Amino acid sequence: QVQLVESGGGLVQAGGSLKLSCAASGRTFSIMGWFRQAPGKDREFVADISWSGGAYYANSVKGRFTISRDNAKNTTVYLQMNSLKPEDTAVYYCARGKRTLLTNTASTDFDSWGQGTQVSVSS
């Protein structure tokens, strides 16, 4: 069993930055990812990362967001978000991947979701 706890969300002006963290305890798999869900919309893939640091991004965040991880005693996954836009406003979730490819980005390819952290970007 794995527990995922996200932190780092908040309110920021457009163009600003935030860094999200996901602390994982228990068994983590090779791939860890970030998703987001805006009000009235489906949960969407943001980025994921392999154990060795390979990463894959949604087109909407490529060049602005960076995912990273620390594989010390307990895995911590980060999401550095720069040049934030109002359309980035959403609840951001960390999740554990259950497949082996970074390009498996459907929400059904992930399990053990965190509780989410709110990111709000004002214009």
Q: What is the pLDDT of residues 55-72, one digit of tens each?
A: 999 999 999 999 999 988
Angle at the Cα of 84 (from 83 to 90), degrees rounded to 5? 160
Radius of gyration of the chain from Cα atoms? 13
Percent of the chain with pLDDT over 70: 99
Closest CA to 122 of 5, 30, 11: 11
Residue 120 has pLDDT above 80, yes or no: yes
- What is the rounded average pLDDT for all residues in the chain? 94
Q: What is the pLDDT of residues 15-58, one digit of tens each?
A: 999 999 999 988 767 899 999 999 999 999 999 999 999 999 99
